[in-house]
Amino acid sequence: VSLTPKDIEYEILYRALTNMGNFFALNISLDPMVLEQNLVPLAHEWKHYNPRKPHIPRQGLSLTSLDGGYSGIPDLDSIREYNIDNGTNYDECSFRTPTEIFERGEAFKSLRPFFPHLGRSHLIRLNQGGYFPFHRDNVEVGIKTFRLIALLKNCGAGQFCFLYDNGRIFLEQGILYFLNTNIEHALMSFGPEATLLVLNVILSKDSVRLVMDSLKAK
Ligand SMILES: [Fe+2]
Distance, in Å, from the CA atom of 107 to the CA atom of 134, rounded to the nearest integer, reads: 30
How far, in Å, from the CA of 50 to the mean position of ligand 1?
A: 13
Average pLDDT on 118-133 reads: 98
pLDDT value for 142: 87
- For residue 140, pLDDT over 90 is answered with no
How far, in Å, from the CA of 198 to the mean position of ligand 1?
A: 9
How far, in Å, from the CA of 124 to the mean position of ligand 1?
A: 11
DSSP secondary structure string for all residues of 48-78: ESSTT-TTS-EEEEESEESSS-S--TTTTS-
Q: 37 in helix, strand or coil? A: helix
Distance, in Å, from the CA atom of 109 to the CA atom of 92, rounded to the nearest integer, reads: 22
Average pLDDT on 141-146 reads: 93
